[in-house]
Amino acid sequence: SAEMQDTDYRPNFHFTPKENWMNDPNGMFYLDGTYHLFYQYHPESSTWGTMHWGHATSKDMISWQHQPVALFPDEHGWIFSGSAVVDKNNTSGLGSDGQVPIVALFTYHDMEGEKSGRDDFQTQGMAYSLDKGKTWIKYKNNPVLKNPGIRDFRDPKVTWDAQRNQWVMALATYEKNLFYTSKDLIDWEFASDFGEGIGAHGGVWECPDFIPMKVQGTDTVKWVLIQSLNPGAYNGGSGTQYFVGDFDGKTFTPESYVNDLGEKHDYWIDFGKDNYAGVTWNNAPGGRTLFIGWMSNWEYANVVPTETWRSTSTIARELKLHLVDGVYRISSAPVMELDSYLDKSFTKASMELSKGSTIVSVDDVSLSKTELSFEIPKLEDKDYKFLLTNAIGDSLTFGYDHSKAQFYIDRSKSGKVDFNENFAKKPSVAPRISDNENLSVTVLLDKTSIELFFDKGTTVMSEIFFPKNSFLEFKSLSNHTFLITDLKASELKL
């Protein structure tokens, strides 16, 4: 069959703009049954450029409705990343007659200022909505936070600090984060900074998120700083690390910094190459921590082989904070809302696999709108290798390398790979973090993406790929015979 391209690559169940360029998710909030997603958007081109905030809404974070562009550039600059909060108590005073204002804080990027060599070309602007996020009014006295002369000064993420009755803003600069506090979302006071000499620093810190999270099974609340950086991710290029600690209203103090791997920082939201700039929803119902990321990497985002539109979001995920053996870890899982899309399934209580055995084929269920899960009963001292393949020999492999105690994804032969030298360079790896005897694997497969949740989501790897034909079979290529259990492959109905 003819080679897949462009529109054939449009995902079945991941968010992507109707046309043109998207990067970071921005300003997500929930109100009255609707999840809002805004995103860095270039309405005139399928490569990065004049930034706007695109907008989409959803009842369940899975099916999205496109909405008109929410924020346009103005005399202060392009609209870079930022956040939005539901100002329930009208602390901003922007609502009248009981209106609940939605307040967005974002970065103005002044291109002329940058070109003229000034350092203060990024400032923080504000816009608000009085109709639940439909239309936006720019604040009259923008910018609300001026630039003290720092070249990278951006991506404000605002959270309510209920204990101190204040808003807290995390703002990324080159090598650290600045925290500001405010009573009204308009006047911001510098509180502290965090980041020098801690964590990964191979590039620019960007797109922070700073949120309280309950430790699973306890009433303890810790503050979590989710911190993207580019480049310098675990497997190169763009990636997102995190820190867990305490916040006293001014200063963030991370837990004593345990690093299981010697020099390497291994606290990463995702170890795959394609989950960047992810942040969480404001005002999420039920106290859930709901997250979505941009499923790409600045190494090649502008040249992936889709031309009418470019870039996809990760599946929306619920994050949980666990304390295991004295170490705080975040796990991720696809939001449970995805379950109501599970349709035709193929299940096996157990299945013996030898090298080359087919586990699931498209005769059973589709392999491009699929949730696949299984368990390897005991992680013996063996390697595990799984493969997705098609009739023309494209292959995507992933598995577990026992001698290195590493998970991996190898997309070097997955189809179109030569649009950028970094795309297929080497397999991406992730350290095995938990000591669970059983290895659980959940795999989300779309036409151009794989999201792997190992060990109940304590190690996650998300990557994109562009096969020349769709994948037809999922097989074991492990060098030994073993049993997998609780196999379930479900087609998603969308």
Say if residue 231 is preceded by a cis peptide, omega within 30 of 0.
yes
Strand, helix or coil at 286?
A: helix
Residue 128 near residue 141, CB atoms below 8 Å: no
Nearer to ligand FRU, 23 or 368 (CB): 23
Q: Tokens 């209203």 map to which residue?
A: 249
Residue nearest to ligand FRU (CB): 80
Query: Following DSSP, what letter does each residue of 177-209 receive, concatenated?
Result: EEEEEESSSSS-EEEEEE-TTSS--SSEEEEEE
Closest separation between CB of residue 153 and ligand FRU, Å?
A: 10
Residue 43 near residue 20, CB atoms below 8 Å: yes
Nearer to ligand FRU, 46 or 91 (CB): 46
The one catalytic residue in 6, 24, 74, 455 is 24
Closest separation between CB of residue 40 and ligand FRU, Å?
A: 4
Nearer to ligand FRU, 174 or 190 (CB): 174
Closest separation between CB of residue 107 and ligand FRU, Å?
A: 5
Closest separation between CB of residue 298 and ligand FRU, Å?
A: 7
Nearer to ligand FRU, 152 or 184 (CB): 152
Nearer to ligand FRU, 274 or 364 (CB): 274
Q: Which of 422, 379, 428 is nearest to 408 (CA)?
A: 428
Query: In the numeric block, which tokens belong to residue 299?
Result: 């190494």
Long-range contacts of 400-409 (CB under 8 A, 24+ apart): 400/432, 400/439, 401/429, 404/429, 405/431, 405/432, 406/430, 406/431, 406/432, 407/271, 407/431, 407/432, 407/452, 407/454, 407/459, 407/461, 409/272, 409/450, 409/452, 409/461, 409/463
Closest separation between CB of residue 142 and ligand FRU, Å?
A: 16
State how far Cα 231 lies from the chain centre: 16
Q: Whole-angstrom distance between the N-terminal and C-terminal Cα of the chain?
A: 25
Segments in 218-278 forming alpha helices (H): none
Kindly list the distances between the CA atom of residue 267 and the CA atoms of 260, 261, 330, 432, 466, in Å, as whole numbers in the listed order.
10, 10, 8, 12, 28
| 24: annotated active-site residue | yes
Closest separation between CB of residue 81 and ligand FRU, Å?
A: 4
Nearer to ligand FRU, 301 or 338 (CB): 301
Footprint of ligand FRU (CB under 6 A): 23-24, 40, 51, 80-81, 107, 154-155, 206-207, 277
Give the catalytic positions in this structure: 24
